[in-house]
Amino acid sequence: MLLLKSGLLVDPSQNICEQMDILIENGKVVKLDKNISASPEMEIIDAKDKVVAPGFIDMHVHLREPGYEHKETIFTGCQAASRGGFTGIACMPNTQPVADNEGVIELILARAKRYDLVNVYPIACITKGQKGKELTEFAILKECGAVALSDDGFTVTNSGVMRRALDYAKMLDLLIITHCEDVDLGGSGVMHEGLVSTKLGLAGIPKEAEEIIIDRDIRLAELTNSRIHIAHVTTRGGVEIIRAAKKRGVKVTAEVTPHHFTLNHEAVTGYDTATKVNPPLRTKEDVEALIKGLQDGTIDCIATDHAPHAREEKEVEFVYAPFGITGLETAVPLAWQLYLAGYLDLLQLVNTLSTAPARILNIDRGSLQVGKIADITVIDSRLTKKVNPDNFYSLGKNTPYKGWELTGWPVMTIKDGKIIMKKGEVNG
């Protein structure tokens, strides 16, 4: 039995934000109360001055395994996730081979189970080989454990194929997650197209490359009455398209990454390849629109798009570096800035990191109601420290936040009632 005493319980599923004790037994929440009496058989955790929330879920993570273990492995990715305050992660299918068949899905699940650090929810490909032509076997992929479908870094450019994917997914109640990029319009761009790209002499990616596909995919979801999730929204226009679609009743949800609401394209000045990400960092006006989208619920959740790369891959000229930022171990304190700045209250913040992702992925998490599985994230709202990528569990050290002093770090994760991470140290 595990008893968390005197923590500030923040649970959007119950609209609770108050000091409360939590008693856990056999991996489940068995009691919530103001003052639960301790007994000798209980392990007591003093959670005073800490925020206690349903376990955080990151629905956009690249674990790289199989095929790219020099960038990340399932083990190191799960360690990084736990240290970062996550009890669940959904992993993208751009492995080698790609996750377009049951063999890869089963491998991911088996290894995640072996390590038992976080819940791992595989996302399978929409099309075979991520080629955008032939649909994968959705039913088989769902049966073997896929929670959603995405071609991830590739857009399904053929609208007919995308329509059939949405129709098929609807029959199986599977979520389609779309990477929205008109690659012909984006061309050889490596950052946001604007004044900064001109000054730096770098080819740009216009906002319209993203917004055109957001609009198309939402229209196809509306046509088929299907669910669709827009990954890593970055532009004001994209937020406006999603907001209008929600008002029409379209079944659309969306996510934003910490790097897109904390950085803008001016961060690329200096050619730091850690700022090279796709979709790119946009303008200050776009950042403001993203935060507004989180405030009013247009954007449902925060996801990291954790994209680790080997050091030697990023330590090249900006044009030749791969896109991607490693995000699992900095996401929570970066998101905490939204609370400190008064943009989101605690219920809103926890919702974007836990309850909303669980709802979108249709998994039974994101709540600390009595009887629910005890997946818990504990945050020290007063803990301030500098980001040091050399101490990351992740193999990817490619972060633009090196040296940033941030407040609001996760200090404990509990999965299935067992303490996995405590004070930054991960068991296993």
CB atoms within 10 A of CB 98: 22
Look up the CATH number of domain 55-361: 3.20.20.140
pLDDT (average), residues 229-235: 98
């994101």: which residue's tokens? Answer: 366
CA–chain centroid gap for 269, Å, is: 26
Q: What is the mean pLDDT of the chain?
A: 97
- Asked whether residue 19 carries a pLDDT value surpassing 80, the answer given is yes
């095929």: which residue's tokens? Answer: 67
- What is the per-residue pLDDT for 192? 98
Q: Residue 407 and residue 192: Cα distance in Å, rounded?
A: 29
- Asked whether residue 428 carries a pLDDT value surpassing 80, the answer given is no
What lies within 8 Å, CB to CB, of 329 at 6+ separation is 80, 83, 84, 392, 393, 394
- What is the per-residue pLDDT for 421? 98
- Percent of the chain at pLDDT > 70 equals 100
Q: What is the pLDDT of residues 253-263, one digit of tens each?
A: 999 999 999 99
pLDDT (average), residues 271-294: 98
- Asked whether residue 416 carries a pLDDT value surpassing 80, the answer given is yes
- Percent of the chain at pLDDT > 90 equals 99
- Domain topology for 2-52+372-394+405-426: Urease, subunit C; domain 1 (2.30.40)
Q: Residue 179 and residue 214: Cα distance in Å, rounded?
A: 9
Report the catalytic residues: 305
pLDDT (average), residues 412-417: 98
Check for a shared fold between 2-52+372-394+405-426 and 55-361. no
Q: Residue 231 and residue 233: Cα distance in Å, rounded?
A: 6
Smallest CA-to-CA distance from 92 within 177, 2, 17, 26 is with: 177
State the alpha helices, DSSP H only, in 263-379: 284-296, 311-314, 331-340, 346-350, 356-361
**Ranges of each domain in the chain:** 2-52+372-394+405-426, 55-361
Q: Between 113 and 428, name the one with better pLDDT.
A: 113
What lies within 8 Å, CB to CB, of 195 at 6+ separation is none
pLDDT (average), residues 324-330: 98
Contact 127, 156 (CB under 8 A): yes
- Phi and psi dihedrals of 100, rounded to 5? -110, 15
Smallest CA-to-CA distance from 400 within 383, 384, 410, 387 is with: 387
- Asked whether residue 2 carries a pLDDT value surpassing 80, the answer given is yes
Strand, coil or helix: 214:
helix
Q: How confident is the model at residue 397 (pLDDT cuts 50, 70, 90)?
A: very high
- What is the per-residue pLDDT for 287? 98
What lies within 8 Å, CB to CB, of 193 at 6+ separation is 204, 205, 206, 207
DSSP string of 292-304, one letter each residue = HHHHHTSS-EE--
Per-residue buried b or exposed e for 115-150, using 16+ beta carbons within 10 Å of the residue's own CB: bebbbbbbbbbbbeebebeebbebeebbebbbbbbb
